[in-house]
Each structure stands twice: as C-alpha cells, then as structure tokens.
Amino acid sequence: MFPLGHVGLTVALARLAGDRVPALSAAPLWALALGALLPDVLDKPLGHAILDLGNGRILFHTVLFALVVLAAALAISRARPAAAPVALALALGCGTHLLFDRMWEDPQALLWPLLGTEFAHRGFEPAGWIAMLLADAYTQGTEAAGAAALTWVAWRDGLLARVQAKVRPRKSDAPAPEAVALARR
C-alpha cells in the first residue's frame, strides 16, 4: 500500500472509532498520519539502503514492534493522560499499517523473531512500485479509498470550511464599499 491509503484509511478508522474510544476522537491528524507511515519510514531506508536487503518490510513491520508501540502508548496514557490521544494514535497507525500491508502474507516478517531471525532478500526496483500503482487493483483501490476517506474526514471535522474561509473571506468580513470610500476621504 502507498501513503495515501495508509493515512486516509487510518484517519477515517480513528474518527469512526472515536465514538467508542474518546482518546481517539481527540487524536491529532498528524499523529495518526505519522503512526500510519512509521513502519515504512523506518523500514524502507533500513531494508533498502542500510542493510541492502532489497526488502522494506522487516523489523518495523512486525507484531513485536506493534506491541512495543502499543505498550508504550498505554504506559504514556496512564502516566500522562493528556498525551493519550497522541500515543494511541501512533499505536493505532502502526497496527493498521500491518493490516493494510497484508502482512499475514509474509508470516516470517510479521511474526519475527518467532519463525526465525532472517529476513527475505528481495530485489529493489523503484519501477516495480510504479508498476504496482498502475496495475495492482488492491493498491489502486486503497489509494482511492484513502483519498475519499481523507476528504470525508476533512468535511466531517470542518477542515474544508476553515480552509475555504481563509481563502475566500465571507462577504460580512469585507468592509462595505461605502465604508471604504468614507475612510479614504
């Protein structure tokens, strides 16, 4: 999955779950987005450039990492309740990342180190990512769903109205032409 799908679907899921989990209703969008992208932000450079595995789904695409993030989020939430929305947003994002990447298809990585400590070596081809975006129905569908989800959240949270208000001032905010003419005299 690509970033738009990860972020959009995670943010929408958090907003929908916010009715049942109050800390998620207050989760800042930036924390949800960061959590949703965190496994890729950490694993892609590590797996492709540093370890030269040609594999961007290694240490941070594991249940172990997701559980560590969740445990840290719960500990932070207990110690500093005001930080709970950010901590839980990061944990939710990391968890949904594994789900949306369909990590169950790579149990060796998902369940690391239970099934061994080695990660698969794969060839890294940036052109393969472009081909996937252009040809893979799952990737296209999740990117479209992510875009739609972000649009829904922006509408639901009133973000679109706030941006529109900054771009186009309301008529009531602009001075009347008569007032402008009087002020110039």
What is the DSSP annotation of 119-166? -------HHHHHHHHHH-HHHHHHHHHHHHHHHHHHHHTTHHHHHHHH
- Amino acid (one-letter) located at 177: P
pLDDT single digits (tens) 95-119: 999 999 999 999 999 999 999 999 8
**Per-residue pLDDT at 163:** 79
Written as one string, the DSSP assignment of 77-89 is HHH-GGGHHHHHH
Q: What is the pLDDT of residues 132-180, one digit of tens each?
A: 888 989 999 999 999 999 999 999 888 877 877 787 766 655 555 665 5
What was the pLDDT predicted at 102? 96
For 13-25, the pLDDT digits (tens) are: 999 998 888 878 8
To the nearest whole number, what is the mean pLDDT of the chain? 89
Residues 6+ apart with CB under 8 A from 155: none
